[in-house]
Structure 1
């Protein structure tokens, strides 16, 4: 290990020389109480930034031991330190700020995720950074780099990693909040709830493309009395709000009254949120999956026969493959893949659904008999998903009452205020049934056209990836993210635009690396569920660093759920299965 003077001399000696001279920096350096590790040096000023780590002994950081004695505490402290580091980088004049100088730790959003940005072990606290080493054209500015690495960086690390530099109460509250949120999430299953939304929450966002809270103009959430629940949490805190029960829940109301906002909050509730977000007490079962139509996506051997069969083209829908799925076949594919991924709840908005997949009204059923229609609509299968697989559904419906009869509860929004209208909706459904000349009554096992006791979702065929499909000949480089919702895998681009619960670019980068690890593990014997399960187990036991094929700084990664790992693999157009 070298000392600070050696680093300064090296950088001073290369001042004004070619940018490739920075390669001499690789190694470790003592900077007072900190250690700087230069793991990867960028080869060109226009290449991705250098990867560096700055660490100090855990005892020197003096972080309270009780905040770090469990996994959730370490995740929360890591998140807090990452945010503190990002804030310290942006503070000060443009000349003194680390951000202006090209240092980045990544900036977390509204969610608290397991990350590689700050790692806490028994011995060390380590911050992982990307550093754009200064240049003038293609010449190294070594003296400026020396000030950056030996003055600016240690100053920022001291402000962000030492307990004495932090707000101790804010840190403790951050840890307590995450522990309480996850305690509440574990209580959902015993309470037979899909989601919980606390009274006082503020669900609206600033804009459709923003995850930031609307602010003072937002209507405060208030639960309807019939669905109100209370929970006591690990810290002794008590929260009261609306419990969304397991089964089939339909959310109705006029346009722009808050239906989609409510569903979006439930959708993002699979992740814990920071204090002040407004949705920090919107907690959803962690495996809930958002489902939509996705015209043009690919599919590889998916059994969508529960919804689509007897196609005029003769396509086998028990092993459906397509390079350009339609609205209905893509939504059926998304749904079955979500169930395959272990989802216990489906979140669906009719605005992003294929109408012919969701419903078929009585008049259309009379004109086109069931034996002439290859699509069995979701309304005829939603009960079977719950009774056979235990998969609940939360559905926004603004234009059709077709789901009233199969709903366990119906919630209406008017001016962002909720009412339980289940009894009224069931009465409307019963009246409609009596006045319809040819009523169709879906039963608990599926549609009216199914035979008695026929089961559709008890088991799904295993899909085993062909090993050669995950190792295409033209793939010579590791998979990589290209923006927040795109992965380059060989010469194929995997489009994740429709994967609505992907919330952070660092998750996309982790998914790219996960695909490479899945390819390494594929053996023509284990199916997709088993492969992803093994990968998740490695992440649980070895951490996110395991995804990287290189030792040292793995890049800025955030942990995706199993559902997003399945989604990325399933959208790879080169995938073929046995």
Structure 2
């Protein structure tokens, strides 16, 4: 019996009769696969896939030339499905927002393009509306799928712009290391966002314009030569008055580790792909972290070489985040004084005079920032508006004024020379990159009872993992809730390894080398690739032994 026939035959029956439509159904040249049927009309929507054969799609060769373009094309097709289905509230697809991530909503199989979506099967109360469901799945869905994936129905110019933008960003980011750059911000970029909860560009944002002394030219395969501000490796301070754009610039650099869609305003902002924002995070859990380079000599002789707490202070949490980032192999740090613990960042000469170093366990970041650069080859971009004690360490100083950058490196050095600080450097040991900490996989158990696990997300803020709500509000470079879903699945996969992982970073990297679609045993359409740093950040914030 055809799908339409099945749906019409169960019209008016109890909702559980929808279970009969699970499986594959031909829809003309296309194929619908219903993977999961919701238990009742109030449950999470049903999951399905529609497959469009390649000979039907006939996508242009340029859209499939190289992995950056293939990823961009998959992203574009998912967005095209969402756009085509916007009038049908029953259909939804996890197609992302401003970033272009590797996602599982669009899959290129050998024989077909597969679009993975959800459908809320209609009912009146708990009574099936079979004819209405047939209209959704048999009539409108094939049209939507063809609008989303068949070349004859696509805006091919927009598809090419999407592919070109992503390919250019990948190429620009790939040039950073060879040019000695931490990041690049193209001239004309629009960095300002509509609000703290709306990541779309501000309509009247000020166009970025690099100072001449920092302007560099990079080559993009589609845009050609592009000019903008090169943020050098080393120690870069971003200074300026309040509300002049310091944090706006830093936020753009934070998300410059990802590619952005055309029109976002930041599609010419690229950052080294391992860059990590570190910050204070009062109340987070810390497990066995060597804090001794930053916190030592605690009262009563408590050691900090393998420090654990369920309720870290601001300075302790920031030191832990830094050490955890170094443990992941990170070579680029982003820091904003607004989200930092003051006593972790600086201890001025007056406080040194009042409280002896013997009575102060914290070695402030200002005394380690040069060690990070010289001993570990770790570069830092630091937003600092309240302390000039960093001037003498800075390689580059950028002042943001009316949302535009100025190179004030020479002026900052002159200030440092004319107003010498009397504070003493408070370092007692050499800085070393921390070794990986073994991880007991039993900590990664998502079970809520025998045979039942729970992995859910609330936006990008919370991962519900088993009986825990893992607070990730301070992990600011999570760009999409689908990354968080993927992290939950990856944690489950690590749990299945059993025993103790001597090098959890290497184990997580091995899983991340797999395709996104390999992480789930079901054809999930709501996963996106996270970075290794965010995977480990979630693991590090689990509570309990």
**Alignment of 1:545 onto 2:517:** yes
Q: After the TM superposition, which of the residue ranges 314-323 and 123-132 deviates more from structure 2?
A: 314-323
Corresponding residue number in structure 2 for 1:569 = 539
**Alignment of 1:468 onto 2:442:** yes
Corresponding residue number in structure 2 for 1:267 = 254
Q: Deviations over 1:16-35 (max 9, x none)?
A: 11111111111101100110
Q: Is the 8 A contact 1:254 1:414 kept in 2?
A: yes
Once the two structures are TM-superposed, the CA of residue 275 in structure 1 deviates from its matched residue by 1.1
Equivalent position SS for 1:402: helix
Equivalent position SS for 1:158: helix
Change (3 A) 1:298 1:105: same
Q: Is the 8 A contact 2:293 2:431 kept in 1?
A: yes
Picking from 379, 394, 416, the partner of 2:366 is 379
Once the two structures are TM-superposed, the CA of residue 467 in structure 1 deviates from its matched residue by 2.8
1 or 2, which has the higher strand percentage? 2
Q: Is the 8 A contact 1:479 1:516 kept in 2?
A: no
Picking from 490, 502, 524, the partner of 2:466 is 490
Q: Is the 8 A contact 1:347 1:393 kept in 2?
A: yes
Give the 5 Å matches for 1:3-18: 6-18=2-14
Corresponding residue number in structure 2 for 1:33 = 29
Equivalent position SS for 2:194: coil
Q: Is the 8 A contact 1:197 1:282 kept in 2?
A: yes
- Structure 1 distance, partners of 2:443, 2:109, is 38
Give the 5 Å matches for 1:283-298: 283-298=270-285
Name the TM-score, length of structure 2 as normaliser: 0.97
Q: Is the 8 A contact 1:370 1:449 kept in 2?
A: no
Change (3 A) 1:150 1:498: same
- Structure 1 distance, partners of 2:2, 2:56, is 24
Corresponding residue number in structure 2 for 1:533 = 509
Q: Is the 8 A contact 1:479 1:512 kept in 2?
A: no
Once the two structures are TM-superposed, the CA of residue 287 in structure 1 deviates from its matched residue by 0.8
Equivalent position SS for 2:26: strand
Corresponding residue number in structure 1 for 2:387 = 400
Once the two structures are TM-superposed, the CA of residue 158 in structure 1 deviates from its matched residue by 1.2
Give the 5 Å matches for 1:417-566: 417-433=404-420, 436=421, 438-440=422-424, 447-450=425-428, 454-457=429-432, 459-471=433-445, 474=448, 476=450, 477-484=452-459, 485-537=461-513, 539=514, 543-550=515-522, 553-566=523-536
Q: Is the 8 A contact 2:236 2:395 kept in 1?
A: yes
Q: After the TM superposition, which of the residue ranges 36-45 and 170-179 deviates more from structure 2?
A: 170-179
Structure 1 gaps of 5+ residues are: 91-96, 441-446
- Structure 2 distance, partners of 1:522, 1:348, is 36
Once the two structures are TM-superposed, the CA of residue 315 in structure 1 deviates from its matched residue by 3.1
Q: Deviations over 1:267-297 (max 9, x none)?
A: 1111111111111100001110111100000
Once the two structures are TM-superposed, the CA of residue 478 in structure 1 deviates from its matched residue by 3.2
Q: Is the 8 A contact 1:478 1:513 kept in 2?
A: no
Corresponding residue number in structure 2 for 1:443 = none
Q: After the TM superposition, which of the residue ranges 407-416 and 351-360 deviates more from structure 2?
A: 407-416
Corresponding residue number in structure 1 for 2:218 = 231
**Alignment of 1:72 onto 2:68:** yes
Change (3 A) 1:145 1:181: same
- Structure 2 distance, partners of 1:53, 1:365, is 64
Name the TM-score, length of structure 1 as normaliser: 0.91
- Structure 1 distance, partners of 2:7, 2:474, is 46
Q: Is the 8 A contact 1:206 1:214 kept in 2?
A: yes
Aligned length: 543
Q: Deviations over 1:287-333 (max 9, x none)?
A: 10111100000011111111000111533211111100000000111
Q: Deviations over 1:230-288 (max 9, x none)?
A: 01122361110000011111000001011010100111111111111111100001110
Give the 5 Å matches for 1:73-152: 73-90=69-86, 97-98=87-88, 100=89, 102-152=90-140
- Structure 1 distance, partners of 2:398, 2:262, is 27
- Structure 1 distance, partners of 2:180, 2:531, is 22
- Structure 2 distance, partners of 1:571, 1:140, is 44
Q: Which runs of 4+ in 1 moved over 6 A?
A: none
Change (3 A) 1:281 1:265: same
Equivalent position SS for 2:500: coil
Once the two structures are TM-superposed, the CA of residue 566 in structure 1 deviates from its matched residue by 0.9
Q: Is the 8 A contact 1:479 1:487 kept in 2?
A: no
- Structure 1 distance, partners of 2:94, 2:426, is 53
Q: Deviations over 1:124-147 (max 9, x none)?
A: 111001111001111111111111
Equivalent position SS for 1:307: coil
- Structure 1 distance, partners of 2:344, 2:84, is 51
**Alignment of 1:63 onto 2:59:** yes
